[in-house]
Homo-oligomer: A and B are copies of this chain.
Amino acid sequence: MSSKPTMRDVARKSGLSIATVSRVINFPGEVPAETAEIVTAAMRYLNYRPNINGRRLKMSQTRTVGVLVPTLANPVFATSVQGIEQEANIEGLTVLLTSSNYDPEREMGAVSALLNNRVDGLILTLANADNNPVVDLLLAEKIPFVLLFNQPERADIAAISVDNAQSAFDITNAMIAKGHRSLAMVAGQFESSDRSRQRYDGFCRALDQAGIEKKHLVQVRFGETDLVEPLRDLLLGPDAVTGIVCSTDMLAIAAISACRAHGLSVPGDVSVGGIDGISVGGLITPKLCSAVQPTQEMGRQALAFLRGLIKGQTNPQSLLLPHHLSDGDSIGLFRGNSPHRSSTRV
């Protein structure tokens, strides 16, 4: 009476066998309504709850999926997880969530822990999808997995993302179209994010196409929100830029803040664009202009996709979801260097 009641207790209480109890739980249709009632009554009486761990041990499928994201502090990932959980809930799947903090070492540890839990599959956002030991491990062990936000080079890996390079290309072009010729990109460190590099590539492509030679790049540690110093030269130096493309919206918001700290107005003196489309971007002033990806939907799709893989559907294919530019006002017409700005220059 002290410990939790088990199926055996329910069986005893209802005068039936443990097998019948199990059937009532798992295949209510295959049992006469009358017996089912007896059993459920006993369960209610005893306050019985099935021990999922017993089931998980016995069954080959655990109906659990593992999720690894870099961090929950960035709303992009938080909302994608929301999408995953939403879809998982519908399917009655349990989600095991971990985060790597952008640290490749922790990625392996986290995935290892998830595998010890015998998850049926994984959804991962990796620092670097290419040449990644985690990916190799998963392929070797034949565990179904889907990459989210990563855009791996190998075609035989399931991945759901937007076209990172194209996103950056588009937002950069939006600036060029407004007359800006002196641009910089602020990006998360490439070692911590392949997306960061891919987006930089798109940035460069846009500049090349416009015949712009100077390609400024500032890499910042992830989680960093104070860009005042990192951007000083870019904003006030001898060849200051008039447009900053940020590899994420979080960086863009931080960049706008840094511009202000340097006495520059956005978009008056400097235009700033982001990538991701996090929701606060639409609320701040100036409204952030960003290459928006359907984050939550991507999470949902990732889970749906993973479910397919788990069911044995082979030939994983990558999905590139469409992005779009939001109509913000953080990108403005090029006006030369405003008086205010030149006066501010050190």
Please report A residues at the B interface, Cβ cutoff 8 Å. 4, 47, 49-54, 56-57, 62, 71-73, 75, 78-79, 81-82, 85, 94-99, 112-113, 115-118, 141, 225, 253-254, 256-257, 260, 279-280, 282-285
Contacts and interface: CB of A to CB of B under 8 A. Distances in A.
Contacts of A285: 256-257, 260, 284-285
Contacts of A62: 53
Contact of A118 (B52, B95, B141): B52
A236 to B, nearest CB: 19
Contacts of A99: 82, 85
B118 A53 contact: yes
A116 B51 contact: yes
Contacts of A81: 72
Nearest to A60: B3
Nearest to A255: B283
The 9 closest A-B pairs by CB, nearest first: A72-B78, A257-B283, A53-B56, A78-B78, A53-B57, A284-B284, A97-B97, A52-B116, A253-B283
Given A57-B57, A96-B96, 19 more contacts: A49-B112, A52-B116, A72-B78, A72-B79, A72-B82, A73-B279, A75-B75, A82-B99, A85-B98, A94-B96, A94-B117, A95-B97, A225-B282, A253-B284, A254-B283, A257-B284, A257-B285, A284-B285, A285-B285
11 contacts: A51-B57, A53-B57, A54-B57, A85-B97, A96-B96, A253-B283, A256-B285, A257-B284, A257-B285, A280-B284, A284-B285
Of A47, A97, A256, A280, most B-chain CB atoms within 10 Å: A280
Contact of A72 (B47, B72, B112, B254): B72
B280 A253 contact: yes
A330 B50 CA distance: 52
A54 B112 CA distance: 16
Nearest to A112: B49
Contact of A49 (B50, B52, B115, B254): B115
A2 to B, nearest CB: 10
A117 B81 CA distance: 20
Given A78-B75, A99-B85, A53 B257 contact: no
A68 to B, nearest CB: 12
Nearest to A287: B257
A225 B256 CA distance: 21
A51 B225 CA distance: 41
A87 B257 CA distance: 31
Contact of A94 (B72, B113, B283): B113
A85 B109 CA distance: 14
Nearest to A254: B283
Contacts of A283: 225, 253-254, 256-257
A330 to B, nearest CB: 11
Nearest to A280: B280
A100 B51 CA distance: 22
Contacts of A253: 280, 283-284
